[in-house]
Amino acid sequence: MRIVSRSRKREVSNQTNSPIHPAIRRAACGGRRLPPYIKGLLRLAARCPRRSYPHRTPPPTHPSARPLPSVASCLLRELHRPRPLAMAEEVVRELRASFAAERTRPAEWRAAQLRALVKMVDEKEADISAALHEDLAKPHMESYLHEISLVKASCQFAIKGLNSWMKPEKIPAAITTFPSSAQIVAEPLGVVLIISAWNYPFILSIDPVIGAIAAGNAVVLKPSEIAPATSKMLAKLLPEYVDSSCIKVVEGGVPETTDLLEQRWDKIFYTGNGTVGRIVMAAAAKHLTPVALELGGKCPVVVDSNVDLHVTAKRIAVGKWGCNNGQACIAPDYIITTKSFAPQLVDSLKRVLTRFYGEDPLQSADLSRIVNSKHFQRLTDLIEEKKVADKIVYGGQTDEKRLKIAPTVLLDVPRDTALMTAEIFGPLLPIVTVEKIEECFDLINSKTKPLAAYLFTKNKKLQEDFVANISTGGMLINDIALHLANPYIPFGGVGESGMGSYHGKFGFDCFSHKKGVLIRGFGGEATARYPPYTVEKQKILRGLINGSFIALILALLGFPREKR
């Protein structure tokens, strides 16, 4: 759904006078009655492309502006679909019953499910790896390194932490309510929906499920239909290992997802792109359901000239092409470096790439392929654009039959091209040059907030400025993508890169409600609280609220005395 075909773009730009896309209006008037929130969405979809953003400079490049027509077309198709479906409803009803029966609450149940996931990963590593290879030609090492082992580590981390996460947190009692004790109790939200993405179809499915289970929720997982082998594998394997009355996999595409979104959930966790993220959030609004959206963005890499060049090039290369051939939400999207340093960096990248993937990278078994022909087309369009094609300094080979694109480095691509405005999500790496490295701040801040930002430098001052001035989901200095594997830091976006975070305890928190519990005694009855109000009462109350001991003692002694 990330792609907007050229013809559609034109269609939209032609109808600037009408607030609503003609096809949509036809459907809305001629067809059946639309649910009101879909109507709202359609109106919104038609309106968005022309909205301008006075505060951020380039209006036409704003992500909300681009791919909406394709959403509208998805919705359209959706509206004309015959609906026999009560399946989503059925699934939710069953899970609600399991949740209401409190099956998911005990710590033992949660730990058992997590242990079952570890067992699944141990026993079915070959199946998982095979499914990933079928969907993305993902090399085994990558599957192991980024998906299988991380899922396992994540499960084990949760199993270890579970008891301490579940323990109520004691809060120091306040003088205002003396005598009292207070605590914060984590309770499960209920029945949650997790919609995952195709690029890391295994870990992006299971990792949120781990958080949801640890927090004691019943879960529906909707894997991406764009990675069908993994989706099928999950649907088959999960019920073999975990409690299928509380954890279910629902397979399907847009229609099934739409049906799921119409149900009432207690949380929706979505990984994917901003366009669908908007639809998910609007649908969630209907039931006042909180959402977590894990989206992407153009993740910048800033390379200073004082770095260990070879190590830097290796880390960038493995972070870009060694992560699903660039199809990762935290993969580097573009590099910013100084004009004088760029040639050295390019040379080093070339050397490293040749060492990693050989003279003919299209033949390398260590590179993932592009997920499908739609995305292949999108990526080749990006580099075939006239202003871009001659900027390629390395790579550029494509193989349409096998959906392979070689690692491609581009230098000084014009900043108004699609390559430099849209999220690339593929093996193309443009390098932007600046006079002084400090210019990177303005450049990055002129775009929407990315999911990750990377900096290579030994300059401590630059590191500090980078942390202080760049707003991004996460930040890693002198390496790429590794912060993902640290369960002690939250993983999630900000602004256009999403909302809500997970991993480790943050995943548990994401699916928990923190309930404040205050226990007061019957002692310490301050009459000053109650009407009829008098001036003396007011004085004591002032002291009490501000935590004054004297006021407290007076209040406890029953001052001011009441006339009975």
| Residue 537 in the binding site for other proteins (CB under 8 A) | yes
Question: Which residue of 513, 556, 559, 560 would you call a contact of other proteins, by CB under 8 A?
Answer: 513
Question: What are the tokens at 552?
Answer: 């407290």
Work out how close the CB of 541 gets to other proteins at its nearest, in angstroms, rounded to a whole number: 6
**Which residues from 408-447 bind other proteins, rule CB under 8 A?**
none
Strand partners, 301: 335, 454
Q: Is 400 a catalytic residue?
A: no
Work out how close the CB of 105 gets to other proteins at its nearest, in angstroms, rounded to a whole number: 8
| Residue 228 in the binding site for other proteins (CB under 8 A) | no
Question: Which residue of 87, 101, 389, 517 would you call a contact of other proteins, by CB under 8 A?
Answer: 517
Helix (H/G/I), strand (E/B), else coil: 195: strand
Work out how close the CB of 464 gets to other proteins at its nearest, in angstroms, rounded to a whole number: 11
| Residue 344 in the binding site for other proteins (CB under 8 A) | no
- The residue assigned the tokens 């030994």 is 458
In the complex with other proteins, the residue whose CB is nearer, 404 or 483, is 483
Alpha helices in 407-470 (DSSP H): 418-421, 440-445, 460-469
ω before 343 within 30° of 0 (cis)? no
In the complex with other proteins, the residue whose CB is nearer, 308 or 384, is 308
**Which residues from 175-194 bind other proteins, rule CB under 8 A?**
176-177, 180, 182, 184-185, 187, 189-190
- Catalytic residue, from 142, 147, 294, 496: name it: 294
ω before 532 within 30° of 0 (cis)? yes
Question: Which residue of 3, 171, 392, 443 would you call a contact of other proteins, by CB under 8 A?
Answer: 171
In the complex with other proteins, the residue whose CB is nearer, 48 or 97, is 48
In the complex with other proteins, the residue whose CB is nearer, 318 or 346, is 318
The 3-state secondary structure of 464-513, one letter per residue: HHHHHHCCCCEEEECCCCHHHHCCCCCECCCHHHEECCECHHHHHHHCEE
Buried b (16+ CB within 10 A) or exposed e, 339-362: eebbeebbebbbebbeebbeeebb
**Which residues from 268-327 bind other proteins, rule CB under 8 A?**
274, 277-279, 281-282, 284-286, 288, 290, 293, 295, 307-308, 311, 314, 317-318, 322
**Which residues from 15-74 bind other proteins, rule CB under 8 A?**
37, 40, 44, 48, 53-55, 64
Work out how close the CB of 63 gets to other proteins at its nearest, in angstroms, rounded to a whole number: 9
Q: Is 429 exposed, middle or buried (0-12, 13-18, 19+ CB in 10 A)?
A: buried
Integer-rounded Cα Rg, in Å, for the chain is 27
In the complex with other proteins, the residue whose CB is nearer, 319 or 426, is 319
3-state helix, strand, coil in the chain (%, to 5): 50, 15, 35
Q: How many helices (H) and strands (E) in the chain?
A: 23, 18
| Residue 487 in the binding site for other proteins (CB under 8 A) | yes
- Catalytic residue, from 74, 246, 329, 510: name it: 329
Other CB atoms within 10 Å distance of the CB of residue 412: 13
**Taking a C-beta distance cutoff of 8 angstroms, is the pair 443, 336 a contact?**
yes
**Which residues from 360-419 bind other proteins, rule CB under 8 A?**
364, 366
Q: How far is CA 320 from the centre of its chain?
A: 18
| Residue 174 in the binding site for other proteins (CB under 8 A) | yes
Listed residue (200, 398, 437, 395) closest to 300, CA to CA: 437
In the complex with other proteins, the residue whose CB is nearer, 352 or 420, is 352
**Which residues from 127-166 bind other proteins, rule CB under 8 A?**
139-142, 144-145, 149, 152-153
| Residue 254 in the binding site for other proteins (CB under 8 A) | no
In the complex with other proteins, the residue whose CB is nearer, 243 or 496, is 496
Q: Is 329 a catalytic residue?
A: yes
Work out how close the CB of 54 gets to other proteins at its nearest, in angstroms, rounded to a whole number: 5
- The residue assigned the tokens 């792609």 is 3
Question: Which residue of 26, 50, 402, 515 would you call a contact of other proteins, by CB under 8 A?
Answer: 515
Catalytic annotation, residues: 294, 329
